[in-house]
Amino acid sequence: MDIAFFRTKPYDRLWFEPLSKEYGCRIHFIEAGLTADTVVLASGSNAVCIFVNDYVTEEVAEGLASLGIKLILLRCAGFNNVNLDATKALGITVLRVPSYSPAAVAEFSMAAILTVNRQLHRAYTRTRDFNMSINGLMGRDMNGKTAGVIGTGKIGQCMIDIFNGFHMKVLAYDLYPNENLDAVYVPLDELFEKSDVISLHCPLTADTYHLVNELSIQKMKQGVIISNTSRGSLIDSAALIEGLKNGKIGGVALDVYEEEEGLFYEDVSNKIIHDDVLTRLSTFPNVLITSHMGFFTREAMQAIAIETLENAFAYENGMKLLNIV
């Protein structure tokens, strides 16, 4: 199988290049993202492999179909960036990596929460300038506080375990509750009202779009800490800014952002940033923004490569497709 691998970074080649030989694949690494203008780069391939910021619109899907491509390999769990109605109509199969390292994302989320709460990012900047004052850096104990986990799939389950390790009371919300978890399922409004910390781990769907918005923020505790390592559009950024300005929100850890395309994963340090919302968010001392890297561990990257190529192998050999979207 010939695979056009879009949005290639050096760390992708580290894992995919040697493993491709084991699976009998030929990978054509392409630095550009998949768009209507770049779809032609997949000519001669049997499949494309894309990441979270490659959007398969109806136009892109039609472009792939015109090249005879019938397989899209998502090297990620989410699939909100693919127009599934268009791919289905064109006979294009979409395979994803539903689980690679749930612990990686959950551990990162907790690290970000602790950083925001104890203001480690600010302390680090101060001490590098030999400003050893701790004034203004006071945090709160996590022990005994209430954590709310929205989405209790594999990542959410790891998050619950971590919160329990900090001796927190854990509330959970999910459309499909798992009663075997050490958490108390409650209605979403109750979770908003009672949680000192809220961590988002649900997929982006029509129902979860802007789940955190002006109304839900009004229901939250004063000084609540919010962490999002899932999808940026779970949060209404304008409402988030208002919540930060009026002090309702005590801290935010964002590993994702709803307008991250063209910014995250790229070095834009020498460019003028035209996104006023992201620029405004970066001015708050109690906001930590990272570049969609919650998954980024050696174990997760290896697992993503293996599962993606397993998907390609299964498709090529007419095997059962376990990860079809």
Catalytic residue among 96, 258, 260, 307: 260
User: How high is the pLDDT of residue 222?
Assistant: 98
Domains, the chain, in order of start with CATH, read 2-100+297-316 (3.40.50.720), 102-289 (3.40.50.720)
pTM above 0.95, yes or no: no
Which phi and psi angles does 184 have, rounded to 5°? -105, 115
* Residues 109 and 253 sit within 8 Å (Cβ to Cβ): yes
pLDDT digits over 195-227, tens only? 999 999 999 999 999 999 999 999 999 999 999
Asked about 307 being catalytic, the answer comes back as no
**Number of CB atoms found within 10 A of residue 14's CB:** 14
Identify the three-state secondary structure at position 296: coil
Task: Give strand pairing partners of 27.
Answer: 3
Q: Closest Cα partner for 325 from 66, 61, 45, 72?
A: 72
Residue 22 in tokens? 């084991």
Asked about 13 being catalytic, the answer comes back as no
Which residues of the chain are under the pLDDT cut of 70? none
Catalytic residue among 7, 258, 292, 307: 292
Identify the three-state secondary structure at position 95: strand
Catalytic residue among 96, 231, 258, 307: 231
Asked about 193 being catalytic, the answer comes back as no
User: How high is the pLDDT of residue 42?
Assistant: 97
User: How high is the pLDDT of residue 56?
Assistant: 97
